[in-house]
């Protein structure tokens, strides 16, 4: 190492002085950059503004543009670019002023150490250890300068990005402030409208006195009232059930009568009398008994019990027809089926009582009784007696009369047919079966 230093002492000294001079020049240029950057930016803007004015005067406003407008446009754009670059440099220098001061300090240290090395270079061979230490310090200082330069470069990029983000944030903040201002105006208008509406609504609320308040309270407490009206109402339960029990008594009267009187006269059958005569001969006596039964029944109901009838004469006359019809039906059942006919008469009475609708509307009964209701005579008798006793239209009465006449004629015809069959002798009648 010693011989090498002795042969290169002059080169080392020159290199150290070169480093010291370079560090001084860089420090001087940094100071110049800090001082001249604002002025350079201002000058660039003035130049750009001047070129822009020249371009407008010579190329935009005149009717005939200058042939040099193309070059002036390029010059104007170049001046604008220069002004923008100058602004960027000025902003970067202003933002990184702290890092520039650190770099200047490190360059000063490097300059001082390089000059000291240059001064001691002729004696390096004599003081090798001291030279090695100085070189190490110089190397360390150079590393620190490189690190500071890298930090400065990174800081410049971060500062530029931060400046852009700050500009965008300020723009969003301004937009939000404008929106907030508009919303506040709308809120104020809406509050005023709400206040006016509440004031108008309060003025429209009626002021009822105590009487009106009580009447409206009653309406709210009981908003619906049931209005019902009775047509031809029966005064009591007896009057209401009379149309049901009167035909029942007449049917039972006819049933008992034919237990005592034969439905067909045997002597007339043996004598070969006409069938229709035999049927009438067995029917008329029971009808006469039924008429007497009707007169007695209605006399007791009216004068003893107090039954009031809206149409008394019509009721009695209609019951005469009912008696004749019931007598004809009971006569046929006994004439056709004999002793079994009495059971059929009782069964038919039960069916009529359950399907006539005398106690409750027939619609509330099971479906079977609703089905047989139109085909039994007592159904029409009950409905007609209601109109005759309590009042109402006579249409059901005339309808019942037609039905009863049809049942009477049909029953008499069937009784005559049964009489004709009884006049014909068969082997079974001549030789009845012997039973032990």
Of 156, 171, 186, the position where a domain reaches its end is 171
Among residues 178, 322, 310, 180, the alpha carbon closest in space to that of 245 is found at 322
Of 117, 136, 171, the position where a domain reaches its end is 171
With beta carbons less than 8 A apart as the criterion, state whether 383 and 406 touch: no
With beta carbons less than 8 A apart as the criterion, state whether 287 and 263 touch: no
Does some domain include residue 178? no
Same domain, 140 and 39: yes
Does some domain include residue 218? no
Same domain, 404 and 307: yes
Please state the φ and ψ torsions of residue 125, each to the nearest 5 degrees: -65, -30
Same domain, 95 and 243: no
With beta carbons less than 8 A apart as the criterion, state whether 20 and 134 touch: no
With beta carbons less than 8 A apart as the criterion, state whether 389 and 412 touch: no
Residue given tokens 């105590």 in the structure block: 210
Does some domain include residue 358? yes
Same domain, 403 and 270: yes
Same domain, 389 and 241: yes
Of 139, 171, 203, the position where a domain reaches its end is 171
Does some domain include residue 214? no
Please state the φ and ψ torsions of residue 68, each to the nearest 5 degrees: -85, 15
Domain ranges, residue 38: 2-171
CA 195 to chain centre: 33
Residue given tokens 């400046």 in the structure block: 163
Spatial separation of the C-alpha atoms in residues 130 and 122, rounded to whole Å: 13
pLDDT tens for each residue of the chain, 436 residues long: 455 555 666 676 677 677 777 767 766 766 666 666 677 667 667 766 776 776 676 677 655 555 666 665 666 676 676 667 667 666 666 655 556 667 677 777 777 776 776 676 666 566 556 656 776 776 777 677 677 667 766 766 665 675 576 567 656 766 765 676 677 678 777 888 888 888 777 777 776 777 777 777 777 777 766 666 666 676 677 787 889 999 999 999 999 999 999 998 877 777 778 889 999 999 999 999 999 999 999 999 999 988 888 899 999 999 999 999 999 999 999 999 988 999 999 999 999 999 988 887 888 889 999 999 999 999 999 999 999 998 888 999 999 999 999 999 999 999 999 988 877 766 666 655 555 4
Helix axes 377-390, 339-355, angle to 10 degrees: 50
Same domain, 120 and 247: no
Residues 6+ apart with CB under 8 A from 357: 365, 373, 379, 382, 383
DSSP 338-406: THHHHHHHHHHHHHHHHHS-SSS-GGGS-HHHHHHGGGSHHHHHHHHHHHHHH---SHHHHHHHHHHHH
Please state the φ and ψ torsions of residue 417, each to the nearest 5 degrees: -65, -40
DSSP percent split of the chain into helix, strand, coil, nearest 5: 85, 0, 15
With beta carbons less than 8 A apart as the criterion, state whether 120 and 134 touch: yes
User: For residue 3, how many C-alpha atoms fall within 13 Å in the half-sphere facing its CB?
Assistant: 0
Task: Give SS3 for 261.
Answer: coil
Same domain, 312 and 404: yes
Same domain, 156 and 288: no
Spatial separation of the C-alpha atoms in residues 100 and 95, rounded to whole Å: 10
Does some domain include residue 210? no
Same domain, 247 and 153: no
Among residues 31, 86, 75, the alpha carbon closest in space to that of 53 is found at 75
Same domain, 166 and 248: no
Same domain, 167 and 270: no
Spatial separation of the C-alpha atoms in residues 334 and 344, rounded to whole Å: 9
Q: What is the phi-psi region of residue 396: left when phi exceeds 0, alpha when psi lies from -120 to 50, beta otherwise?
A: alpha
DSSP 8-state secondary structure symbol assigned to residue 230: -
Encoding tokens for residue 111?
């300059």
Spatial separation of the C-alpha atoms in residues 364 and 301, rounded to whole Å: 29
Does some domain include residue 201? no
Same domain, 135 and 248: no
* Number of domains the chain is built from: 2
Residue given tokens 């604002």 in the structure block: 38
pTM of the predicted structure, to 2 decimals: 0.49
Does some domain include residue 57? yes
Does some domain include residue 78? yes
């Amino acid at each position: 190492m010693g011989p090498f230093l002795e042969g290169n002492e002059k080169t080392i000294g020159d290199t150290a002085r070169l480093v010291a001079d370079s560090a001084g020049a860089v420090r001087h240029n940094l100071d110049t950059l800090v001082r001249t950057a604002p002025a350079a930016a201002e000058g660039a803007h003035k130049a750009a503004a001047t070129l822009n004015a020249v371009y407008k005067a010579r190329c935009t406003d005149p009717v005939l543009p200058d042939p040099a407008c193309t070059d002036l446009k390029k010059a104007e754009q170049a001046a604008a670019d220069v002004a923008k670059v100058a602004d960027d440099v000025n902003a970067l220098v202003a933002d990184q002023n702290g890092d520039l001061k650190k770099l200047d300090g490190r360059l000063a240290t490097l300059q001082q150490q390089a000059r000291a090395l240059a001064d001691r270079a002729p004696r390096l061979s004599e003081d090798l250890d001291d030279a090695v230490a100085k070189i190490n310090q110089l190397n360390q200082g150079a590393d620190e300068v490189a690190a500071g330069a890298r930090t400065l470069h990174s800081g410049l990029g971060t500062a530029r990005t931060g400046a852009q983000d700050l500009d965008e944030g300020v723009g969003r903040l301004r937009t939000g402030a404008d929106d907030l201002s508009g919303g506040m105006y709308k809120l104020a208008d809406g509050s005023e409208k709400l206040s006016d509406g509440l004031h108008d609504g309060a003025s429209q609320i009626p002021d009822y006195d105590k009487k009106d308040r009580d009447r409206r309270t009653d309406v709210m407490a009981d908003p619906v009232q049931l209005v019902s009206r009775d047509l031809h109402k029966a005064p009591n339960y007896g009057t209401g059930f009379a149309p049901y029990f009167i035909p029942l008594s007449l049917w039972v009267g006819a049933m008992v009568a034919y237990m005592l009187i034969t439905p067909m006269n045997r002597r007339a059958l043996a004598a070969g009398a006409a069938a229709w005569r035999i049927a009438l001969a067995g029917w008329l006596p029971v009808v006469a008994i039924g008429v007497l039964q009707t007169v007695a029944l209605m006399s007791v109901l009216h004068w003893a019990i107090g039954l009031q009838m809206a149409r008394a004469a019509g009721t009695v006359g209609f019951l005469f027809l009912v008696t004749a019809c019931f007598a004809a039906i009971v006569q046929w059942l006994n004439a056709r089926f004999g002793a079994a006919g009495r059971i059929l008469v009782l069964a038919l009475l039960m069916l009529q009582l359950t399907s006539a609708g005398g106690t409750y509307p027939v619609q509330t009964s099971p479906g079977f009784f609703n089905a047989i209701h139109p085909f039994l005579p007592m159904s029409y008798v009950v409905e007609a007696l209601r109109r005759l006793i309590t009042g109402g239209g006579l249409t059901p009465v005339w309808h019942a009369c037609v039905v009863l006449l049809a049942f009477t004629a049909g029953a008499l015809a069937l009784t005559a047919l049964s009489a004709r069959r009884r006049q014909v002798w068969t082997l079974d009648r001549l030789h009845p079966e012997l039973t032990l």
